[in-house]
Chains A and B, each alone.
Chain A
């Protein structure tokens, strides 16, 4: 891709140093020092570009202390695209100083095994063990209208393997002609961008595009907001791309999916950064939840574009797990302030981060991916 210095310079010269981004940044609020704030990082980018600051591992480590959540970008009155600037700086830093040590295993795994967990990629379908009949049908197709792109986390992490299970049940119930790629699906490349190594994206992108082409599909649907975002931003316009919440909302609107009631629940919805701020999808998940009798939806103080990251963004969970956990704790406190007994979100990463913390801290809060809520309400 090459580093777009013009772009980087345009962004940092547009910064007015007003500091309003400090109010939005979960990392800055925890680490306090100016260098960890969005405004501080803009200045560091400018100082290093102008030769007043050496590119060093220390500088790289400062830029890894960021969720890439985009809360600063939506707050910035001057319209600086801070997240783009930070991603570009990670590329500059990685290309000079090498990968952040904690990111190395994941990046290497993507190259070698084509997934973030360094598992044998043919085991991508282990989530489907209990759904063998349906899975065999949708993974054995040589032609389909829609491809469901499962993503690494939901494929390999047991805590969230119910998400793809639900998705295929829901698509099946709506009689969608869809297929999954199984072991032929490769990591979308999203972690590479956050690691500052986007050069390796081309290989995985070409592979995944070929696989979808080979099925003659027109659309790709995602349960992972980050895969969805990566495709939208880097894979070109060849296919129609949908997050599963958009897809389900559309099925409901056209009467192709019928949902019954669920047990009375006060729920709040957490907007995942890559789906909301970076994907612009705010209404679809809310429409779905409002279509299910029994669910009372209560919004958090910071919702939609102002939603606070769960702590799992920007590879921070890998580079600084302790900081990531502190941010998750704040998210849970905001959730609890709504009085909701259930947090619904639409991202396996958010579920993992928040549910992990809820379990560790023995907090009384249900945490679900929205596909679980829909699957429970399915009228088959």
Chain B
């Protein structure tokens, strides 16, 4: 428990209105977008790295657990106080400090919302590519902590690929800087990328330098419907093999297509077994040509319907099914578990088949969305966490799903993180030695294990 003296100290550091421990406040920082909830002892909302440094010094001395939390949109349970303690929220550290057009980078505080950064840099003709589905809400700090990806990942990569430097407050209170504004930097270990994806276990990120790239001038958007999943998979392979690197190569399976149809989202032929949404960007002439080639690939491989958008309005229409998908699925049952087991691209169809099989075996409703370009699957498990018997079946299905994904050379998580969602599976993917190394790293940064304890390690 957090004693009164520590509470007084925290109030002293951030000001009385930014340390919160009312029942309403701790109730509303007890969750993120994953399932289990843990009511914390308090919530602290600092305004600067200096304040955070004081907080961590105090926390380290008094052994107070601290759990950093961005917008709480993660779906792996990385921003909840599993072993009690204090949630650290970054609402006040939400400023874009600099957009450096000459050096093609931006310096931001951790609480900046991803979409806000994208909007601001677009005014300079620039782009920040990582685009997680939560981008209108989720923060850059949270994106870095979880190495967030997104549909554009197959072409542009993920958060890690756009990180140049960080300012970090260590669990022991010291402030360090990593990297800088240069694209190249090989001085010492790459701590910048070590913090990225560390799920709030190594340090508190207080400033982030992100790399920006020029906005591509043109885009082509296509949608193809297949009556056989294999045809869709062959089309994906053909596109990838042709040297075209689409920004988007999204696959929607039959279960979800049926739900979207019932939801009134869009109509598809009744025999539709898979839909591909494909987008390429780049120079106008290249994009034109690539669009035509992709259309041909789809038709040659048995697509029963292919549409190529003529203008941005038509492109938006084609995106409609994909954008409606999550909402349609989420409204089927009270809870929707968004999985992200990921396999090497060529195993994607086999993995989808396995998921269909598991849904039948365990009598579950599971649909599949996939970033087909990079093998990142999103099985959507429609369930109700109040139904214990069903949740046991969900667990069994997940167990098997991970076994299969790993046996194909895949990973437990492509882009959502381990957190408390998959920590019990981590030994299936990582060897004891690898885990020992990670724990050693954790100890170097956080000798008293006060930063997000009880998370994946």
Contact = CB atoms under 8 A, between A and B. Distances in A.
Interface of A: 13-14, 16-20, 22-23, 32-35, 37, 40, 43-44, 47, 52-54, 58-59, 62, 76-79
The 9 A-B pairs at the shortest CB distance, nearest first, are namely: A77-B327, A32-B91, A23-B136, A34-B28, A40-B28, A79-B331, A78-B330, A35-B28, A19-B73
14 contacts: A16-B330, A16-B335, A18-B33, A18-B330, A19-B72, A22-B71, A32-B45, A34-B25, A34-B29, A35-B28, A40-B28, A52-B27, A53-B24, A77-B327
Which one of A35, A52, A76 has the greatest number of beta carbons of chain B within 10 Å? A35
A272 B53 CA distance: 46
B24 A18 contact: no
Interface string B105-130: 00000000101000000000000000
Contacts of B89: 33-34
B28 A20 contact: no
Given A33-B20, A58-B24, A17 B327 contact: no
Contacts of A18: 33, 73, 134, 330
A79 B327 contact: yes
Which one of A13, A19, A34, A35 has the greatest number of beta carbons of chain B within 10 Å? A34
Contacts of B72: 17, 19, 34
Given A23-B136, A78-B331, A44 B33 contact: no
Contacts of A77: 326-327, 330-331
Interface of B: 20, 22-25, 27-34, 45, 71-73, 89, 91-92, 113, 115, 134, 136-138, 326-327, 330-331, 334-336, 384, 386
A46 to B, nearest CB: 9
Nearest to A59: B24
B137 A43 contact: no
A294 to B, nearest CB: 28
A47 B136 CA distance: 27
Contacts of B20: 33
A16 B33 contact: yes
Contact of A33 (B28, B32, B331, B336): B28
B336 A16 contact: yes
Nearest to A21: B137
B29 A17 contact: no
Given A43-B31, A59-B24, A19 B71 contact: yes
Contacts of A52: 27
Which one of A19, A44, A58, A59 has the greatest number of beta carbons of chain B within 10 Å? A19
Given A34-B28, A44-B28, A22 B91 contact: no
Given A16-B336, A18-B134, A52-B27, 4 more contacts: A17-B33, A19-B138, A44-B27, A47-B27
Contacts of B115: 23
B137 A23 contact: yes
Given A13-B334, A52-B27, A19 B326 contact: no
Which one of B22, B28, B32, B136 has the greatest number of beta carbons of chain A within 10 Å? B28
B298 to A, nearest CB: 28
A37 B23 CA distance: 16
B32 A17 contact: yes
Contacts of A62: 24
Contact of A14 (B92, B134, B334): B334
Nearest to B92: A32
A20 B331 contact: no
Contacts of A44: 24, 27-28
Nearest to B27: A47
Contacts of B24: 35, 44, 53, 58-59, 62
A78 B73 contact: no
Given A14-B331, A34-B72, A77-B331, A43 B33 contact: no
Contact of B25 (A22, A33, A37, A79): A33
